[in-house]
Amino acid sequence: MNKTSGTSKDAADKLVRGIKRKTRKHYSAEEKIRIVLAGLRGEESIAALCRREGIAESLYYSWSKEFLEAGKNRLAGDTARQATSPEVKELRSESAALKEVVAELTLENRLLKKSMIGDGGDEE
């Protein structure tokens, strides 16, 4: 009897976790920036801000850290960005094509060297 109740409790917990995961709020970049800037203004405590927005304080502080690091990097002139997926695919295909060209030229170069050595050896 304990097995049945334990199993149904596990199933219920799993179902609740799945529902929470699917209904979790996803914040856009603009929303994150608005919340971080509200915290930086200091008009209300971080705890009160987080309660009002329905987020954990640790999440606020991680957003704040990311925001400030990004600003620092941008002001320092670090404008590098991550490549998008299509860009990566294009670069990979270009790299493969260039590798093929290098392989062909290397093979052609070796054949020419062998023919030169072969011709030079026969004349002596």
Residue 92 forms part of a structural domain: yes
State whether 76 and 118 are in the same domain: no
The dihedral region occupied by 94, where left means phi > 0, alpha psi between -120 and 50, and beta the remainder, is alpha
State whether 22 and 50 are in the same domain: yes
State whether 74 and 93 are in the same domain: no
Neighbours of 3 (CB within 10 A): 7
Residue 1 forms part of a structural domain: no
Burial level of 54, CB count in 10 A (0-12/13-18/19+)? exposed
Taken in order 72, 78, 82, 84, the sign of the CA dihedral is positive
Residue whose token pair is 């990566």: 88
State whether 21 and 72 are in the same domain: yes
DSSP annotation of 9: H
Cα dihedral 75, 79, 82, 86 in deg (nearest 10): 140
Residue 44 forms part of a structural domain: yes
State whether 23 and 62 are in the same domain: yes
Range of 22's domain?
A: 7-81
Residue 32 forms part of a structural domain: yes
State whether 19 and 62 are in the same domain: yes
- Render each residue's pLDDT in the chain as its tens digit; 124 residues: 445 556 888 988 888 888 877 777 888 999 999 999 999 999 999 999 999 999 999 999 999 999 999 888 888 876 666 667 888 889 999 999 999 999 999 999 999 999 998 765 554 4
pTM, two decimals, is: 0.48
Look at the chain and report how many structural domains it folds into: 2
Residue 2 forms part of a structural domain: no
